[in-house]
Structure 1
Amino acid sequence: MSTTNEGRVYFALDGDDFDPDEITRFLGIEPTSVKRKGSKIPGRVPRMSSWQLSTQNIVDDYIDVFEMATEIVDKLRTKKELILQAKERFNVSARLEVVLWFSMKEDNSTPAIGFEIETVEFLGSIGAFVDIDTYKH
């Protein structure tokens, strides 16, 4: 059993049929990772392609989703119009993903999960949805 919490936040552009490298060129931002539909990833085959920009994976007693989400949005804020154009041009959807692993130790706090007003406004302005995945360590 892990004694600490763990988490990361990432922004993704997901779609059925696009080349993530084209989104990289279009946005002018190097992604943290990409997935290509049908490619062989150990243990599974992605059902869709995805372009992702992620925070570091944080392993700590205290995980602050507010801070991590703000970090990602700050990197994307100046690319708002390009993101909107990319959604149309490449037929992709925008997603902010929160991935958290909770420590099962009684004396550890649970992660602070929430979003600053500016983050919510930005995500709304680009038509992004938020997905939060939680797991037990």
Structure 2
Amino acid sequence: MASFGAASSGGDRTAEFSGNFVPEVEQLKFSTTCSFSSNSMAQISRSVATLRIAGDDLDPEEITALLGHAPTRAYRKGDLVAAGSGTRIAPFGHWQLCAKDAEPENLDSQVAELLSGLTQDVQVWRLIARRYSVDLFCGLFMQESNEGVGISPGTLLSLAQLGIKLDLDIYAADADC
């Protein structure tokens, strides 16, 4: 087992590190010599966020019952689904829930919107994550060449506790070449 060292006011302490270890805040020592403003970068112009669950044998009705919320879109493997101007046969089952687009970007509120209507039972989320691919797809759309995004520790912790992978897709502003 690897070690994770953490200093505290009571001297150096070393805690065992496992995949689920979360260090206690009082164990960590942070430097306070550097400060920054939360408004130090231009904000991403627009964001979209979609919770996606996918798998070969995914039954959308089962996911809806487990999470306690109807999806924005769902289908089973083999269903005919709309694709552009036509249709295609779904190669896997899919359940998705979309948040309202945010302009300017606000991933924290979009994640809160998505998760607030769903079960917070970690055991249910673990069951789903063991059986299916689960992610939060975020599309970030820039208007300028240098825009940024910040995601709060609370949002990141919520996603981690529920086993939801964060997937960021960043679309650059049109460049004048």
TM-score (norm 1): 0.71
Q: Go from structure 1 to structure 2 and tell me whether the alpha carbon gap of 1:5 and 1:11 turns closer, same or farther (over 3 Å shift).
A: same
Q: Residue 53 of structure 1 aligns with which residue?
A: 97
Q: Residue 41 of structure 1 aligns with which residue?
A: 82
Q: Provide the C-alpha distance between the structure 1 equivalents of 2:150 and 2:55, rounded to a whole number of angstroms.
A: 26
List alignment gaps of at least 5 residues for structure 2: 1-43
Q: Residue 132 of structure 1 aligns with which residue?
A: 168
Q: Provide the C-alpha distance between the structure 2 equivalents of 1:22 and 1:96, rounded to a whole number of angstroms.
A: 19
Q: Go from structure 1 to structure 2 and tell me whether the alpha carbon gap of 1:125 and 1:73 turns closer, same or farther (over 3 Å shift).
A: same
Q: Provide the C-alpha distance between the structure 1 equivalents of 2:66 and 2:114, rounded to a whole number of angstroms.
A: 18
- Over the matched positions of the two proteins, sequence identity in percent amounts to 25
CA contact (8 A) 1:7 1:99 kept: yes
Query: Post-superposition shift, 1:78?
Result: 2.4
* Structure of higher RCO (CA pairs closer than 8 Å, 6+ residues apart): 1
Q: Residue 85 of structure 1 aligns with which residue?
A: 127
Q: Provide the C-alpha distance between the structure 2 equivalents of 1:114 and 1:73, rounded to a whole number of angstroms.
A: 19
Structure 1 residues 53-81: Cα deviation after superposition (integer angstroms, max 9, x where no partner): 221123x3x21222222332333362433
Q: Residue 111 of structure 2 aligns with which residue?
A: 69
Q: Which amino acid aligns with 1:121?
A: L
Q: Go from structure 1 to structure 2 and tell me whether the alpha carbon gap of 1:28 and 1:74 turns closer, same or farther (over 3 Å shift).
A: closer
Higher helix share: 1
Q: Which runs of 4+ in 1 moved over 6 A?
A: none
Matched length: 126
Q: Residue 71 of structure 2 aligns with which residue?
A: 31
Query: Post-superposition shift, 1:136?
Result: 4.3
List alignment gaps of at least 5 residues for structure 1: none
Which structure has the larger Rg over C-alpha atoms? 2
| Aligned alpha-carbon RMSD (Å) | 2.8
